[in-house]
Amino acid sequence: MDKINAKILIVDDDQDVLLAARLFLKQHFTIVHTEKDPENIPGVLATENYDVILLDMNFSKDSTSGKEGFHWLNVILEIDLAAVVIFITGYGDIELAVQGIKEGATNFLLKPWENKKLLATITANLKVRESKKELEELRIKQKVLIADQDNSYSQMIGESHAMHQVLKAATKVAKTDANVLILGENGTGKELVARAIHKASKRKDEVFISVDLGAISETLFESELFGFKKGAFTDAREDRAGRFEVANKGTIFLDEIGNLSLSLQSKLLSVLQNRKVIRLGSNKEISIDVRLICATNMPLYQMVNEGKFRQDLLYRINTIETKVPPLRERLEDIPLLIEHYLNIYCKKYNAPRKRVSQSTIKRLEKHNWPGNIRELQHSVERAVIMSESNILEPNDFFLSQMDEAKGQSITPVSMNLEETEKMLIRKVIDKHGGNISKAARELGLTRASLYRRIEKYDL
């Protein structure tokens, strides 16, 4: 009979128990270790990862209370959160064993045991070990992803008065659980502010879920945000949680909230009021606990007066309101931002270290930057790629072309259809500062279609 590939550890102060268990179990498992002194547990676990640990509840110096067993159970779980511990106990200690399961043990085994029962218990709990390991790996991956995400958005660059005001407001509001509305033009860094609030909040160790409402079609709104049950619609092949469920205990960031139609505003308001979602195809309510942060570049108060945005939804989302200034109102931050993006893109493209001349800085400060930080970021990236010099000059940022394009109508330079389409796409993307959702809407395309054309024309 082939042995099961598993490592078993038995901890008991009775040498006869250890010997009997080892002789039997080594016939069925690849590795079986025994330990008489529980004080050695930390050292043993430092060198081996065991799939199942059999642990006596009572040792010689304290033979009835089970306190020692609970103590060593906690020690084991501190070392390995995914450990599967089976208590070894006498008939009179069943209540204690049940208490042990509540405290983290996986199962218990009565002395004296039958070998078949011992084998069946260990084999069954090997599956528990696999599940625990998978959950622990997911937990670790989640922490890494959160950390990586935070690192990507770790710095709000700026020493201007305008940015100090934004940072001050973000720090203050982060201490509360209040809903926040962030206003500002496209490309100003509204999501960066939202992440900064999350990172400084009591929910910082939980997930931050970002949702671009401008990129979600009306037909997919409910399934994306609230989830769905298998069979709810043609392509619903499995149950799936929506963004609100995934964000539970953490923060959900709803970007471009001003783009929602009135009917979708009503559905969102219902969820925010009740703090519950119902998956498509289900009648079951699911409670949610999320911190809500919204953002828009649209004039919501004017839209309320025009009947295009619900006043009750606006009051629900803007408990605290903050505005991110456009780049033209914080020109003194341009040198810092350029240095930041130069570090990123020189490293990304393995380019020699580049710097910007003072005359270039002055020229960049005169540019209007309609695309704000996003436009500046793309300009620096393009300059790093295209410039052959280590000192970047104004021409490396294509400022003349950008300024000339202001206010110009889109006139084709040739009658070639592909060339005209390529030029049109480039101009509309530049107009919206690289915002693909906005550009796609103006062009009458889906985001996926626009991405395909960007790839086709190598834009």
Number of Cβ within a 10 Å radius of residue 459 = 11
Backbone angles phi, psi at 437, to 5 degrees: -60, -45
Q: How confident is the model at residue 261 (pLDDT cuts 50, 70, 90)?
A: very high
- The arithmetic mean of pLDDT across residues 25-41, rounded, is 92
Q: How confident is the model at residue 424 (pLDDT cuts 50, 70, 90)?
A: confident
Measured CA to CA, the distance from residue 272 to residue 332 in angstroms comes to 39
Q: How far apart are the first and last CA of the chain?
A: 63
Question: Is the per-residue pLDDT at 100 higher than 80?
Answer: no
Give me the amino acid identity at 13: D
- Write the CA distances from 84 to 49, 91, 172, 432, integer angstroms: 11, 22, 44, 55
197-209 residue pLDDT tens:
999 999 998 989 9
What pTM does this model have? 0.61
Q: How confident is the model at residue 231 (pLDDT cuts 50, 70, 90)?
A: confident
Ordered domains of the chain (ranges, CATH): 4-136 (3.40.50.2300), 161-325 (3.40.50.300), 326-408 (1.10.8.60), 410-459 (1.10.10.60)
Sign of CA dihedral 429, 431, 436, 440: negative
* Greater pLDDT, 280 or 66: 280
Question: Is the per-residue pLDDT at 401 higher than 70?
Answer: no
Q: At what angle do helices 15-25 and 115-152 cross, to 10 degrees?
A: 80
Backbone angles phi, psi at 285, to 5 degrees: -80, 140
Residue 180's H or E segment, with its range, is strand 180-183
- The arithmetic mean of pLDDT across residues 25-42, rounded, is 92
Side-chain half-sphere of 340: how many Cα atoms within 13 Å? Answer: 17
Q: Could you give the 3-state DSSP secondary structure of residue 217?
A: coil
Nearest to 112 by CA among 29, 38, 24, 30: 24
Number of Cβ within a 10 Å radius of residue 377 = 21
Question: What is the maximal distance between C-alpha atoms in the chain?
Answer: 94
| pLDDT value, residue 456 | 76
Which tokens hold the place of 327? 């780049």
Among the ranges 39-53, 134-148, 393-407, which has the highest mean pLDDT value?
Answer: 39-53
| pLDDT value, residue 152 | 47
* Greater pLDDT, 111 or 5: 5
| pLDDT value, residue 113 | 85
| pLDDT value, residue 91 | 60
- The arithmetic mean of pLDDT across residues 79-93, rounded, is 80
Measured CA to CA, the distance from residue 370 to residue 364 in angstroms comes to 13
Question: Is the per-residue pLDDT at 145 higher than 60?
Answer: no
Side-chain half-sphere of 415: how many Cα atoms within 13 Å? Answer: 0
Measured CA to CA, the distance from residue 135 to residue 59 in angstroms comes to 32
Question: Over the chain, what is the mean pLDDT?
Answer: 85
277-288 residue pLDDT tens:
999 998 888 999
Residues linked to residue 88 through DSSP beta bridges, in sequence order: 56, 109
Quick one: DSSP state of residue 59?
A: B
Measured torsion, CA atoms of residues 436, 442, 448, 451, in degrees rounded to the nearest 10: -50
299-351 residue pLDDT tens:
999 999 999 999 999 999 999 999 999 999 999 999 999 999 999 999 999 99
Question: Is the per-residue pLDDT at 415 higher than 70?
Answer: no
DSSP string, 75-112: HHHHH-TT--EEEEE-GGGHHHHHHHHHTT--EEEESS
Backbone angles phi, psi at 16, to 5 degrees: -65, -40
Range with lowest mean pLDDT among 9-23, 56-70, 153-167, 310-324: 56-70
| pLDDT value, residue 149 | 53
Nearest to 50 by CA among 20, 77, 76, 83: 83
| pLDDT value, residue 60 | 61
Q: How confident is the model at residue 407 (pLDDT cuts 50, 70, 90)?
A: very low
Residues linked to residue 9 through DSSP beta bridges, in sequence order: 33, 53
Q: How confident is the model at residue 410 (pLDDT cuts 50, 70, 90)?
A: very low
Measured CA to CA, the distance from residue 75 to residue 69 in angstroms comes to 10
| pLDDT value, residue 334 | 94
Q: How confident is the model at residue 107 (pLDDT cuts 50, 70, 90)?
A: confident
Nearest to 351 by CA among 322, 380, 315, 308: 380
Measured CA to CA, the distance from residue 357 to residue 365 in angstroms comes to 13
Question: Is the per-residue pLDDT at 364 higher than 50?
Answer: yes
Is 380:338 a contact under the CB 8 Å cutoff?
A: yes
| pLDDT value, residue 140 | 60
Question: Is the per-residue pLDDT at 248 higher than 80?
Answer: yes
* Greater pLDDT, 444 or 248: 248
| pLDDT value, residue 412 | 47
